Amino acid sequence: MDRKVSTAYLKLGMYVSKLDCPWVKTPFLIQGFLIKEEEDIFQLVKHCTFVYIDTELGIEADMYYDTTTRLIQTRQRLASNRHVENIIDTGKKTVDYKDKSTTIEELPAAKAALEKASECVAHFVEHDFNSGQLDIVTVKNAVSPILESMIRNSDAFMWLAKMQKHDEYTYEHSIQNCALGIAFGRHMGLNKRELNTLATGLLLMDIGKIRLPRELLIKRSLLTSAEVELMRKHVAFTVEILRKTKGINEHIINIALTHHERYDGSGYPNGLLGMQTPAYGRMAAIIDCYDAMITTTAYREALPEHKSLQNIYNLRDKSFQIELVEHFMQCMGVYPTGSLVELSSGEVGAVLSQNTQQKLKPKLIMLLDKDKHPYKKQTVFDLTKQDTTPVHISKSLENNTYGVDVKQIRL
């Protein structure tokens, strides 16, 4: 029996009976073959979006693509973490994390963690892909310092990640995804093992882009429909790489596989609907979308954090599960760390750290006085501790307002 399958779900032992393109345009010499090598999967991903497999001549897939409804026919739901699902449903935290250091105190350790992670990601890109798989030790060395720092204080690393220039080709943006995931999971009360799984998946979920043409990744104009289809192949490339990497569990693979799926079934590569996407994948989808909005690309400027959060909120119960959107909004705060704000006094500052009890009163780095002149010395201003006439945040500002570029701030 022939069943339609996304190339992202191909495994050794499947029998490919049909392709979505002519056989003569592929390197396969015969029509119909058993997948015996990883190279077979790579070539199928490279040339096809989906294929048909004969389930009588080879093993079955975890999921099949229904050509009539565009929804997935499943033998069973992709592996999800029941404990995380329960937290999403009930809001009951397993761990109630408390800051063990202030943001300023944590900055040196956060800086070391960021440098270590950047070094490891560079190693992935420059070395590991020559062997076709990742070094799990390098992956752990990237994630562990970030996780430990953000457990002590999540704002310090988030501040530093905000200051980085992200590049689609070098994958430095993956570090911010990782940090956002830890902050999100920490806020929800996931345990350390769950935070590590989520963080690792987010760090690696786009790593397959290394197999795409560099000119596609740095293109300075909108992609054509053909280029969009090619870009989407990074999901299958990533899944293939992760499946070949020892020590990567199925939850991490599923984050890469599903982070472009959408709650209403409009995502890719398989149009998963609602809870068919595992918990980690549904969380990753929100983080990936938010990070894309706040990141400057070759063809558009980044959106301010408050506008990006509003966009995410507007997509609740459409692209994203409403309960997770609410958790994410609470996690990020009204004024996310690293965002630019103006006070009722006319002064301008950048949000240094959140106040979990009073969301409207974060700690700020003061940058401009009421006349919009730079302060000679940067000071930390805690809006909860005011001896004189109280001031409040009057509005969020776009970066570079009044000539202030938050990425140029150095503490």
The CATH T-level fold of domain 82-332 is Hypothetical protein af1432 (1.10.3210)
Between CA 328 and CA 293 the distance in angstroms is 15
User: What is the model's pLDDT at position 161?
Assistant: 87
Please confirm whether the linkage preceding 336 is cis (ω < 30° from 0).
Answer: no
User: Which contiguous run of DSSP H or E holds residue 5?
Assistant: strand 2-6
User: What is the model's pLDDT at position 129?
Assistant: 63
User: What is the model's pLDDT at position 72?
Assistant: 44
**56 burial level (CB within 10 Å; 0-12, 13-18, 19+):** exposed
Domain assignments of the chain as residue spans, ordered by start = 2-74, 82-332, 340-408
DSSP state of 128: I
User: What is the model's pLDDT at position 75?
Assistant: 41
SS3 at position 365? strand
* pLDDT < 50 positions in the chain: 67-76, 169-170
pLDDT, tens digit, 9 for 90 and up, residues 65-111: 654 344 444 444 678 889 999 999 998 999 999 999 999 999 999 99
Cβ neighbors of 119 (< 8 A, separation 6 or more) are: none
User: What is the model's pLDDT at position 69?
Assistant: 41
Residue 276's identity, in one-letter code, is Q
Extract the tokens encoding 272.
């998963």
Task: Mark 176-208 as b/e (b = at least 16 C-beta within 10 Å).
Answer: bbbbbbbbbbbbbbbeeebbbbbbbbbbbbbbb
pTM assigned to the model = 0.87
Pick from 297, 301, 295, 122: nearest CA to 219 = 297
377-381 long-range contacts (CB < 8 A, ≥24 apart) are: 378/409, 378/411, 380/104, 380/352, 381/349
User: What is the model's pLDDT at position 128?
Assistant: 63
